[in-house]
Amino acid sequence: MIVQKYGGTSVGTSERLISVAQIIEKACEKEPVLAVVSAMSSYVKSEGTTSRLLHAADCAIHQEDFKPILLQLRDFHINTVKECIKDSNVHKSVQSYVERIFDKLKQFLEALTVIREFSSRSSDRILRVGEKLSASILAGVLKDRGLKGEYIDLSNIAPEGYSKVSPKFFTALESNLLDLLSPVVKEKKVPVITGFLGEIPGGIIESIGRGYTDYTSSLVAAVLKVRELQIWKEVDGIFTADPKLVDQAKVLASITPQEAAELTYFGSEVIHPFTMERVTRANVPVRIKNTFRPNEPGTLITEQEIDRHVIKNITAKKNITILNIGSNRMLMAYGFMAKVFRVFEKYGVIIDLIATSEINISLTVEKSDRLGELIEELEGLGDVTIYKDRAIISMVGQKMRLTTGISGKMFSCLSEEGINIEMISQGASEINISCVVENKDADKAVQALHKRFINSDGLN
């Protein structure tokens, strides 16, 4: 059995929805398939169902008219049903369900105009609507094509009695998933599951993030111990660099889970990091595929060595800030680092890279609404110097740990291009070498390194 996860843009229009149904139909000829879907979306996130639902909620809280947004969303989904489902009985059933969802949503938003309070629980109740709509419609399209499409709503799957997300919470959640899905799988149906997996303590966005549908698919794949998790996107797989930036960028046949995690963190949107962690523990390989080019093999994320290249990817993470904190006390000041890190924890600011000496800490952070407050408190611990508009350039590859001289060659390459390096860091895993340059040099740095290490096959 395989789990196929489809993002919002994959099911964003009638044509795309039918393409997804055709992919599922073809896959079912070989083995059972379970589909997980996001809310329907265009290529622009702000125009997607999820963003518009949150906008409607914001209007309701501020006592503004949310009805035009709701009407637009309703018409879009109803028209999709009409265009994709020809069987009158299936059409009637799905359209009736869609209309009921919007009726309940309208009542809930009207209540928000009175309450004027938007809690994490309210947010989750709004967010789940998008996945309920897309999953129910896709299940209907599959039935219309003669498959046993079975819509499964995970909105109430989260275990109760937990005030925060914890390992015990997810263990209980996985148990609930297994109990719900096992009977459906045995009946040889084609389950179409909502990517939204219930009201999570603290809210699904805060606890997991906008990529929560990726995580849902990983949980499903893990508990059912499937052969493969496929994540269908609008790209052929994972490239050696951003193909919009590097014309010669190639699709990787495979990468390891550790490499995928590094890429996700340092600028390349592969899949949600929680997803990687869960399927890795369950020993389920992940394949990235293109919805619009289904015959392409994609990229397999697996521990097995398929792609033997030393360096797999060169990426840039732009618009970061360097903070240099120098202790204002004597050498060996006790607890200096601990105090610095406690300040970052207090303001919820995540550190990307870090380099330390006895009395100085250099680190990089992304933009944050609380960065000003953080810097002000850090100034009580030492002298703080700030460098904005910087970029992290990273080379990722599991075999780098076994290859000498890569760091020197990387820095020499950048130096030959006249690019100044302001900070250097190598991860403890030794599969990522990173440095910081000015934003304006980031693209040139990626292009130069790709030409040196990948195009010319310098180390590979």
Q: What is the pLDDT of residue 446?
A: 96
Q: What is the pLDDT of residue 337?
A: 83
Q: Please write the tens of the pLDDT for every residue from 377-403.
A: 999 888 999 999 999 999 998 888 777
Q: Could you give the percent of the chain with pLDDT greater than 90?
A: 60
Model confidence band, residue 360 (pLDDT cutoffs 50, 70, 90): confident
Per-residue three-class SS string for 113-130: HHHCCCCHHHHHHHHHHH
Q: Please write the tens of the pLDDT for every residue from 259-273.
A: 888 887 776 666 777
- What are the residues whose beta carbons fall under 8 Å from the beta carbon of 7, sequence distance 6 or more? 38, 41, 213, 231, 232, 233, 234
**Mean pLDDT across the chain:** 89
At which residue do the structure tokens 């309701």 appear? 60
Q: What are the sequence ranges of the domains in the chain?
A: 2-234, 313-455
Q: What is the pLDDT of residue 458?
A: 52
Higher-confidence residue of 11 and 335: namely 11
d(CA 315, CA 393): 6
User: What is the mean pLDDT of the segment spanning 109-135?
Assistant: 91
Q: What is the CATH number of domain 2-234?
A: 3.40.1160.10
Higher-confidence residue of 265 and 176: namely 176
Order of strands across the sheet with 299-301?
Answer: 149-152, 190-194, 33-37, 2-6, 228-233, 286-290, 299-301, 254-255
Q: Taking a C-beta distance cutoff of 8 angstroms, is the pair 154, 193 a contact?
A: yes
Decide if pLDDT at 60 tops 50.
Answer: yes
Structure tokens at 412: 């020499």
Decide if pLDDT at 460 tops 60.
Answer: no
User: What is the mean pLDDT of the segment spanning 151-174?
Assistant: 89
Q: What is the pLDDT of residue 329?
A: 62
Whether 2-234 shares its CATH topology with 313-455 is answered no
Decide if pLDDT at 47 tops 80.
Answer: no
Q: What is the pLDDT of residue 331?
A: 46
Q: Which of 7-16, 45-54, 69-78, 408-417 has the lowest mean pLDDT?
A: 45-54
Q: What is the pLDDT of residue 44?
A: 52
Q: What is the pLDDT of residue 457?
A: 57
Model confidence band, residue 330 (pLDDT cutoffs 50, 70, 90): low
CATH entry, 313-455, from 2.60.40.1120, 3.10.580.10, 3.30.2130.10, 3.40.630.10: 3.30.2130.10
Decide if pLDDT at 142 tops 90.
Answer: yes
Decide if pLDDT at 332 tops 60.
Answer: no
Please state, in angstroms and as integers, the Cα–Cα distance from residue 259 to each residue in 205, 272, 336, 340, 396, following that order.
Answer: 25, 13, 33, 29, 6
User: What is the mean pLDDT of the segment spanning 307-320?
Assistant: 87
Higher-confidence residue of 460 and 65: namely 65
Q: What is the pLDDT of residue 428?
A: 61
